[in-house]
């Protein structure tokens, strides 16, 4: 057994049972494909490598063999490898689930767009296009090459053919290969069938920070991980994702990012989105939003030598109420955190919110939340409560599936 099996994801992994063709061309970015292949395997995929002659001058075939557990296909033989993996079979079902060309040079982009197949990579692409296998292309080249009118035109041709173009990172006057995580996410999107491809979601997560003075704030305990993993899972199911997240948290490369600090920031952003006509199909609010804020924050810093300080607080506006007012047709997923109560009581309290402004409520006891692990109870209008427990990555994925069911 090849050691790749030691890291391959199991039945719960999103690419389990999928065959992904990883085609590598002659860009220096080919050095990144070892890690890319391993990451695809960790998500459960069997990776079939195809290597052009130019690509083999950048990355040794044995390295790709090691990374995937399969000998790279460098030329076509009597086994007609392109037909074996990408040709349409009598039952109409190709053997491969996706073809990812990464990195893809300007040369290969133009050849694929024009139907020229003079390497193993381009022949696989021609066959996959004819069979309807999803093709993803991750360009990597000097920016001046990408701006060549013919190359730009050929990229547009490929998009019209249904090819997914994974946008490069533009840095240092180069169109650099997209990150491995983004490429893997894109493969998962196409292999999932993208049940949410026509949907868009707005996810609010992280903690608000209400100022006491110019330096100090009132905030809540929140890692933002549940919201982050939910957004990631929805994206992998094909959803277009916008995240409104605490300004203390990092951007998500697959989403539109809107940072917030205070509750007022959130409401202002929501109102702006509504004014611009943005109507999310799903709005999920796992954000730890402050219930109270100082009535009048002090200018500057309150001197630390003060022995006693009285801070007058006021109730903050209810974000969920504003969401309901601004987006009455959205599927609203509310999150309700309580402490020290039974599941029965938790469900009872969550059901009250369900009757008011939410399509679904995700409830939990604060004591059952850890840095990377959580336990929640999901309630929706017409279904029995569902208990979900595990790593926050898995919980986010299962919640995304429940949201998919509600939307359907």
pLDDT digits (tens, 9 = 90+) for 324-348: 999 999 999 999 988 889 999 999 9
394 contacts: CB under 8 Å, gap ≥ 6: 12
Judge if 3-191 and 200-407 fold alike in CATH terms. Answer: yes
Assign 316 to helix, strand or coil: coil
pTM metric for this prediction: 0.92
The torsion region of residue 115 among left (phi > 0), alpha (psi -120 to 50) and beta comes to left
Q: According to the model, what pLDDT value does residue 89 have?
A: 76
pLDDT at position 226 over 70: yes
Give me the percent of the chain exceeding a pLDDT of 90. Answer: 84
Q: How confident is the model at residue 233 (pLDDT cuts 50, 70, 90)?
A: very high
Q: What is the band of 179 on the pLDDT scale with cuts at 50, 70, 90? A: very high
pLDDT digits (tens, 9 = 90+) for 235-251: 999 999 999 999 999 99
Give the model's pLDDT for residue 92: 63
Q: At residue 61, does pLDDT exceed 90?
A: yes
The answer to whether residue 158 scores a pLDDT higher than 70 is yes
CATH assignment of 200-407, among 3.40.50.10300, 3.20.20.60, 2.40.50.100, 3.40.50.2300: 3.40.50.10300
- What number of other Cβ atoms are within 10 A of residue 112's Cβ? 27
β-strand partners of 362: 335, 378
- What is the model's pLDDT at position 171? 87
pLDDT band at 305 (very low <50, low <70, confident <90, very high): confident
Given this model, what pLDDT does residue 3 score?
93
Q: Where are the beta strands (DSSP E) in 91-168?
A: 98-104, 135-139, 141-142, 164-165
**For residues 281 and 407, is the Cβ–Cβ distance under 8 A?**
yes
Q: Which residue has the tokens 């704030």?
A: 217
Which residue do the tokens 């003060």 mark? Answer: 306
Reduce the DSSP state of residue 69 to 3 states and report it.
Answer: coil
> How is 272-307 classified by DSSP, letter by letter?
HHHHTT---SEEEE--B--SEEESSPPSSPPPTT-S
Asked if the model's pLDDT at residue 231 lies above 90, the reply is yes
3-state class (DSSP) for residue 5:
helix
Q: What is the pLDDT of residue 230?
A: 97
User: CA 375, CA 366: separation in Å to the nearest integer?
Assistant: 9
Beta strands in 345-407 (DSSP E): 360-365, 373-380, 386-391
Structure confidence at residue 93 (pLDDT)? 64
Bridge partners, residue 99, by sequence:
21, 135
- Output the pLDDT for position 94: 65
pLDDT at 314 (0 to 100): 95
Can you list the positions of beta strands (E) in 152-309?
164-165, 169-171, 174-176, 200-205, 209-211, 217-219, 240-246, 256-260, 282-285, 292-294
* Range in 193-202, 283-292, 304-313 the model is least confident about: 304-313
Beta bridge partners of 137: 101, 165
pLDDT at 236: 97
* Arithmetic mean of pLDDT over the chain: 94
Show me where the domains of the chain are located: 3-191, 200-407
pLDDT value for 118: 94
CATH of span 3-191: 3.40.50.1950
DSSP 333: E
24, β-bridge pairs: 51
> What value does the mean pLDDT take over residues 261-289?
96
Contact at 8 Å (CB) between 52 and 79? Answer: no
Going by pLDDT thresholds of 50, 70 and 90, the confidence category of residue 355 is confident
Per-residue pLDDT tens for 356-396?
Answer: 778 999 999 988 888 889 999 999 887 789 999 999 999 99
């Amino acid at each position: 057994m090849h050691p790749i099996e030691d890291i391959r994801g199991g039945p719960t992994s999103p690419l389990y049972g999928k065959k992904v063709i990883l085609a590598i061309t002659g860009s220096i970015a080919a050095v990144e494909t070892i890690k890319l292949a391993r990451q695809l395997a960790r998500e459960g995929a069997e990776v079939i490598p195809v290597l052009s002659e130019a690509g083999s001058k950048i990355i040794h075939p044995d390295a790709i063999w090691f990374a995937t557990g399969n000998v790279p296909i460098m030329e076509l033989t009597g086994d007609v490898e392109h037909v074996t993996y990408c040709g349409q079979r009598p039952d109409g079902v190709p053997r491969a689930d996706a073809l990812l060309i990464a990195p893809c040079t300007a040369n290969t982009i133009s050849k694929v767009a024009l139907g020229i197949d003079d390497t193993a990579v381009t022949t696989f692409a021609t066959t996959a296009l004819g069979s309807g296998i999803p093709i993803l292309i991750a360009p990597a080249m000097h920016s001046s090459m990408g701006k060549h009118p013919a190359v730009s035109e050929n990229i547009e041709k490929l998009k019209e053919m249904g090819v997914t173009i994974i946008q490069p990172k533009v840095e240092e006057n180069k169109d650099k290969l997209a990150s491995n995580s983004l490429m893997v996410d894109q493969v998962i999107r196409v292999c999932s069938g993208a049940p949410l491809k026509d949907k868009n979601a707005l996810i609010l997560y992280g903690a608000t920070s209400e100022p006491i003075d110019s330096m100090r704030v009132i905030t809540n305990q929140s890692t933002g991980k549940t919201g982050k993993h939910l957004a990631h899972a929805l994206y992998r199911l094909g959803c277009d994702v916008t995240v409104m997240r605490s300004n203390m948290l990092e951007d998500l490369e697959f989403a539109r990012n809107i940072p917030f600090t205070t509750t007022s920031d959130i409401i202002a952003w929501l109102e702006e989105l509504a004014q611009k006509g943005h109507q999310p199909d799903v709005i999920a609010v796992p954000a730890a939003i402050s219930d109270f804020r100082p009535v009048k924050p002090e200018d500057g810093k309150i001197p630390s030598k003060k022995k006693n300080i009285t801070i007058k607080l006021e109730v903050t506006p209810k974000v969920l109420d504003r969401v309901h007012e601004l987006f009455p047709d959205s599927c609203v997923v509310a999150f309700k955190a309580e402490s020290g109560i039974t599941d029965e009581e938790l469900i009872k309290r969550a059901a009250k919110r369900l009757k008011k402004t939410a399509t679904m409520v995700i409830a939990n006891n604060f004591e059952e939340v850890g840095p990377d692990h959580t336990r929640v109870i999901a309630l929706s209008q017409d279904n029995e409560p569902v208990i979900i427990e595990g790593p926050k990555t898995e919980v986010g994925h299962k919640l995304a599936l429940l949201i998919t069911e509600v939307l359907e």
